[in-house]
Structure 1
Amino acid sequence: MSTPRLWITRRLSDATLERAARDYDVVINHGDLPGTAAELIAASADFDAIIPCHSEHFSADVVAQFSDRLKIVANHSVGVDHCDLPSLKARGIAVTNTPDVLSDATAELAMLLMLGAARHAVAGDRIVRTGQWDSWSPAFMVGKQVTGARLGIIGMGRVGRAFAAKARGFDMEIHYYNRSELSAEDAKGAVYHDSIESLLGVADFLSLHCPATPETTGLMNAARFAMLPRGAVVVNTARGALIDEAALLSALESGHLAAAGLDCFQVEPGGNPAFAAHDTIFMLPHIGSATRTTRDAMGFRALDNLDAFFAGKTPGDLL
């Protein structure tokens, strides 16, 4: 068999690109801009495999125009909401993702966002950075304590469990909602709620770790924000579609929510310009998995899936 031809749509880690170049006839998008629909369609005729990121969108319309040459889409991501899986399957194109390897990095970032939102990190940094710190009093910048607080987690998959493990280091009381109750071994004492509404009522802090699906779009809306205890803090390192952003702003402006920590937004890149005026929103540009260790691991996981596929084996992360 000739060496499979591979298109890598974004600038991945150096170690990933070196391994890919060793094992495949690879073309790399060193310009590092998202692949357009036209480029994806053209690539389907020129390549046997694609390693895309979440920035490339395999919609039903795009997949319908694919050539028969493309055999596998090995995503450099855990989430696959950018892929129309039924359309790809109907064309006989295998799809894989990269679970497990980014759980700790994303959980670390969720912890950063939770702490930063709770302790006025945005306002504090601005005051010091701009030379406005000219006084102090016991009432100055009093925040919300994390230690010993009740943490609600929606989605106790790999990232949710990794975040819970880190939160236990702050002696937090862990509550969670999941599609099914975890085993005692996996729950590690976390309290299961069989409805989101039940969970929200006890969540001093709420962290979202579920995928974006038609069922979870707008999961946190005005009615559900109102169910949280007054002064709660909301963290989202999953997908921007989970939050009704207008409802979040309203809950913050009314004082019902104390703060929010966000790594993802409904519009990416760019985010929500209306958030910029609010020091109570601690924001980062969707960098939950952005550590060198994790980027290498994600790239290698995608290549592992390709290696298995072209060796005639079932990829470990086949969806």
Structure 2
Amino acid sequence: MPAKPVRVVVTRRLPEPVENRLKGLFDVQLRDDDTPMSKAELVAAMQEAEVLVPTVTDQIDAAMLAQAGEQLRLIASYGAGVDHIDVASARQRGVLVSNTPGVVTEDTADMAMALMLSVTRRIPEGLAMMQRGQWSGWAPTALLGGRISGRRLGILGMGRIGQAVARRATAFGMQIHYHNRRRVAAETETQLGATYWEDLDEMVKRIDILSVNCPSTPDTFHLMNARRLKLMKPTAVIVNTARGEVIDENALVRMLRAGELAGAGLDVYEHGADVNPALRELGNVVLLPHMSSATEEGRIEMGEKVIINIKTYADGHRPPDQVVPGVM
């Protein structure tokens, strides 16, 4: 194999083992600062690279792709989601797009369960009390939460992550309900003890906790809008580890303030890092900084998938995780 045959530009700092592997295999330009590239920097990178390795923080639209160099042939995205890339425009320009599916399934499902427990058992309130030195001892009525055993869990999106959440929730004694674009196999339903709801409205009326696990598409934008949120029980909790724009955040804030929902656990937000300030003021909300996939093992596995996609492309073959418009 020729030494370092492909010019690769990476847009963010990656785990050291991943960067070392990239340096050993390709002619790679790494990012020194762990900050997102500006739009101008991204365009400059696409004018230089044969392979661009962006992350979910890099918005790559049609106008930017139109300025890419003729040598750009692959966008090997570091992450499972590709809603930050105009895949159709890339394809029209002869640029392949790949991602890293399946790697963060278990990590994200773990975090969904952590958020459910954090909200229903009021864990952040107890932690804050201990850190402030305000705990004076056990009391029969202090920090009363609710058990999740026996509760109805509604899963919005029954793909890899949704099914992983269902497996965990079953172990906690929860009843599994789900809504999905397509009904899963009967065998999977039986294994999970899951009830399918074709009508999302009917499901959200009945469940106690809703876990959002669907991708971001035009069809899922504000899928949980004001009207649908109002169908939920006032005792219900909503957890989102998928994409922030699936929920109408302003409507969610209004309902949480009014006591029309019991709580929320959020790891993603409608406007990314520009988090609605009102969410920080609510005591019945647990907020995390988009860390569901943040395990060392998961991030290194993501990097290995990126490397396999680049290496397969460099060898003249289709990347195993190529994203095809219309199949997403």
Amino acid corresponding to residue 305 of structure 2 in structure 1: R
**What SS class does the counterpart of residue 229 from structure 2 fall into?**
helix
For structure 2, which runs of at least 5 residues remain unmatched after alignment?
Answer: 324-328
Match of 1:152, SS?
strand
User: 1:286 and 1:78 mapped to 2: Cα distance?
Assistant: 14
> Counterparts in 2 of 1:129-144, with a 5 A limit?
129-134=131-136, 136-144=138-146
**Equivalent residue, structure 1, for 2:303:** 299
Q: Which residue of 2 aligns with 1:108?
A: 110
Instruction: Name the structure 1 match of 2:285.
Output: 281
TM-score computed with the length of structure 2 as normaliser: 0.94
Separation in 2 of the partners of 1:162 and 1:135? 37
Pair 1:37 & 2:30 matched: no
- SS of the residue aligned with 2:33? coil
Q: 2:8 aligns with which of 6, 9, 19?
A: 6
Match of 1:119 in 2: 121
The CA distance in 1 between the partners of 2:295 and 2:17, in whole Å, is 13
Q: In the alignment, what sits opposite 1:175?
A: 177
Letter in 2 for 1:318: Q
SS of the residue corresponding to residue 191 of structure 1 reads strand
Alignment-derived partner of residue 89 in structure 2:
87
Q: Give % identity.
A: 39
Deviation track 1:120-160 (CA, whole Å, cap 9, x = no partner) reads 12222222211222365432221121112110000011111
Q: Which among 237, 242, 249 is matched to residue 238 of structure 1? A: 242
CA distance in 1 between counterparts of 2:255 and 2:166 reads 25
**Cα distance in structure 2, aligned partners of 1:13 and 1:184:** 40
Shift of 1:81: 0.8
Instruction: Give 1:279's aligned amino acid.
Output: G
| Regions of 4+ moved over 4 Å | none
> 1:117 corresponds to which letter in structure 2?
V
1:224-271 deviations in whole A, cap 9, x for unaligned?
111112210100000111111111111112212111000001222242
Instruction: Tell me if 1:200 matches 2:204.
Output: yes
CA contact (8 A) 1:10 1:32 kept: yes
Deviation digits for residues 273-307 of structure 1 (CA, Å, limit 9, x no counterpart): 21111121111100111001100100101111111
Distance, in Å, in 1 between the alignment partners of 2:232 and 2:309 is 41
Give the aligned residue type for 1:183: A
2:56 paired with 1:74: no
- Residue 267 of structure 2 aligns with an amino acid whose one-letter code is D
Is the 8 Å Cα contact of residues 6 and 48 (structure 1) preserved in structure 2? yes
Residue identity in the other structure for 2:286: F
Q: Distance in 2 between matches of 1:7 and 1:251?
A: 44
SS at match of 1:261: strand
Moved more, 68-77 or 272-281: 272-281
1:61-85 residue CA offsets vs partner (Å, 9 max, x unmatched): 1111111111100111111110011
Indicate yes or no: 2:232 matched with 1:215.
no
Q: 1:99 aligns with which of 98, 101, 112?
A: 101
Which one is further off, 182-191 or 72-81?
182-191
Whole-angstrom distance in 1 between the partners of 2:124 and 2:228:
25
> Are the aligned partners of 1:151 and 1:172 in contact in 2 as well (CA < 8 Å)?
yes
3-state SS, counterpart of residue 62 of structure 1:
helix
Deviates more, 1:122-131 or 1:282-291: 122-131
- Does residue 1:229 correspond to 2:244, yes or no? no
The 2-side partners of 1:285 and 1:256 are apart by: 25
* CA distance in structure 2 between the aligned counterparts of 1:195 and 1:65, rounded to whole angstroms: 44
Partner of 2:266: 262
Name the aligned partner's letter for residue 106 of structure 1.
Answer: T
Q: What is the CA deviation profile of residues 72-131 of structure 1, one whole-angstrom value per residue up to 9, with x for unaligned ones?
A: 001111111100111111111000111111100011111111100111122222222112
The secondary structure found in structure 2 opposite 1:257 is coil
TM-align CA RMSD? 1.3
Partner SS state of residue 312, structure 2: helix
Q: Which amino acid aligns with 2:81?
A: G
Q: Hey, what's the Cα distance between the residues in 1 that align with 2:102 and 2:180?
A: 18
In structure 2, how many angstroms separate the alpha carbons of the residues matched to 1:114 and 1:239? 17
User: Would you say how many aligned residue pairs link Structure 1 and Structure 2?
Assistant: 319
Q: In the alignment, residue 75 of structure 1 is paired with which amino acid?
A: S
Which residue among 51, 54, 57 is the counterpart of 1:52? 54
User: What are structure 1's unaligned runs of at least 5 residues?
Assistant: none
Q: Work out the CA distance in 1 between the residues paired with 2:63 and 2:140.
A: 59
